[in-house]
Chains A and B, each alone.
Chain A
């Protein structure tokens, strides 16, 4: 069975500062990993996904995430935060070797301070 843990239900960073949102996963088989974003009053949309092609994955709006098997992590980063990045971010996992369900973490709400 797979699971996802997101450390920090709320994270605040100053505009222009580094954004780091943490995600650790547990999976008995190699995983697919995803980050989804939910902007205020909008639906969830895919930010980026890891599918084993490359450990560093680039997504929309300047975000990227690095798959680290030894740490079972898939942390999301952005070098310089923008006010428009304020949203809720969800990490998700599904098994790679079979068509199984996608499980989401509890989410991290990112606040951007002016």
Chain B
């Protein structure tokens, strides 16, 4: 596609339910990030995939959060047993991944609301 695509754009769920957020990066981009954006917290790094390397999971806030990237393309962020504090916009970004100074291309995000 032309850009980074995220789905769904909005997700409302009940506390305790599991949710899956999807990211389709730009074709050929080897680097993929997940960030969380909430009021006053800026862009919180969650996880980073780079090619075939082991992902950098150092930003995941708890073991309820996990992410995978299948075939080096599509990524899914899973939040288990959602809590109200998980409510935020979840942003995915990708870059060609050849060097560290490349710009990131961001998706429009998934607005998650946990009731």
User: Chain A: residues with CB nearer than 8 A to chain B?
Assistant: 6, 9, 32, 34, 36, 43-46, 49, 51, 90, 92, 94-96, 98-107
Contact = CB atoms under 8 A, between A and B. Distances in A.
B104 A46 contact: yes
Contacts, number: 59
A51 B56 contact: no
A101 B104 contact: no
B106 A102 contact: no
Contacts of B54: none
Contacts of A46: 103-104
B103 to A, nearest CB: 4
B103 A95 contact: no
Contact of A99 (B35, B43, B97, B107): B97
B11 to A, nearest CB: 18
Interface in B91-114: 91, 93, 97, 99-101, 103-104, 106-109
B107 A43 contact: yes
Contacts of A100: 56, 100
Interface string B28-39: 000101010000
A44 B59 CA distance: 20
Contacts of B99: 99
Interface of B: 31, 33, 35, 40-43, 45, 48, 50, 56, 91, 93, 97, 99-101, 103-104, 106-109
Contacts of B56: 100-101
A94 B43 contact: no
Contacts of B35: 104
B72 to A, nearest CB: 15
Contact of A43 (B40, B48, B97, B108): B108
A90 B43 contact: yes
B40 A106 contact: yes
